[in-house]
Amino acid sequence: MDLVQITAGETDPVRRRVRFFLVGVDGMTPAEGEAGGQPEISVNDGAFTAAGVGTLVQVEDNTYYAILDASVVASEGTHVETRYQSGATALCPGDDVQVIAAPSTPYDDSVLAANAAGPWEVETEAGRVRQHRLTEQIEAAKFLASQAAGTDPRRAVRFNRLNRRDPT
């Protein structure tokens, strides 16, 4: 399966999904009807357990997903392996998960507030340092926020074309 990266402390259940492609005991036939089955996870190479992961939800044919508990993805650096097996399926590995640090932006509100409170230019015996003008920092923060919003699938813009049918 795939290696999925999840941000540490992720609260959105959709972003904590892990996928499974299930096959029958013959290893070939797509396995259906496994919705509600209980997958297992191994955290940091520990023993596999059903604790920390929800039950399977069928997407289509032999494709399923389960949602990891928020406690499982709470810490950066955590590695999670997933698997599922029942009497009607072979042992099927699911997605592996790597928990990563939350991305940081160089311009957030606290940085802008600190820069606004501090001097624009400082000079010592070692030299002179200037920061970017506050207006430039605000523009950079807006640009980075728009870039982040554009990559977030929950904030994407969707265009649909509507065709009006003539009733005659």
pLDDT in tens, 70-80: 999 999 999 99
What's domain 3-100's architecture? Sandwich (2.60)
What tokens does 129 get? 């340092």
Taking the domains of the chain in order of start, what are their residue ranges? 3-100, 109-152
Chain centre to alpha carbon of residue 9:
10
Side-chain half-sphere exposure of 71, counting CA atoms within 13 A: 5
93-to-24, 41, 80, 96, 119 alpha-carbon distances in Å: 13, 10, 11, 8, 56
pLDDT in tens, 111-162: 777 777 777 777 877 777 777 777 887 787 787 777 766 666 555 555 566 6
**Given this model, what pLDDT does residue 156 score?**
55
Name the more confident of 4 and 117. Answer: 4
**Given this model, what pLDDT does residue 141 score?**
77
Which has the closest alpha carbon to 83: 41, 32, 141, 118? 41
